[in-house]
Amino acid sequence: MDVESCLLEGFLQRIKVERDLIEKELKEAKYDFEKAKHAIEEGDFKWSIVKSYYSMFHAARAVLFSLGLKERRHFAIRVVLEDLNMKGKLESKFISDFSAALGAREDADYRYTYSQETAAYLLRAAGDFLARMKRLAKKS
């Protein structure tokens, strides 16, 4: 599925670009990242995974908002990230990390499967992802 298909199917919708909405999403992403850091320090690996994913989710939403898009389903975010990659605006590493975080969050939430190693990996990935999405959101 591509961006145009997502728009036609209603998984994405066009919105007016509003800087305050973008900043709000980046603020939420930073908040979730800090919570993920605290959770791993406290040995709560499940919560760290969940919050790392949501940090990435909100950071990516900021980018979508900067492009005048809003997702209706989480998978539509990946579609937009892949589109940015095809246009040479985003490295594929960030798409892989987002997908890994989504899968790990689902495993932690629904299958009660999580580990310290996964939490540590996703925390690092979420920090890199947040920094990259901030730069991308500011360019748009």
Q: What is the pLDDT of residues 59-107, one digit of tens each?
A: 999 999 999 999 999 899 999 999 999 999 999 999 999 999 999 999 9
pTM over 0.75: yes
Name 40's Cβ contacts closer than 8 Å, sequence gap at least 6: 48, 116, 119, 120, 123
Domain spans of the chain, in order of start: 3-139
Q: What is the pLDDT of residues 19-68, one digit of tens each?
A: 999 999 999 999 999 999 999 999 999 999 999 999 999 999 999 999 99
CATH of 3-139, one of 3.10.20.30, 1.10.10.10, 1.20.120.330, 2.40.170.20: 1.20.120.330
DSSP secondary structure letter of residue 44:
-
Helix 116-139, helix 92-110: angle, nearest 10:
130
Please state, in angstroms and rounded to a whole number, the distance separating the CA atoms of residues 109 and 83. 28
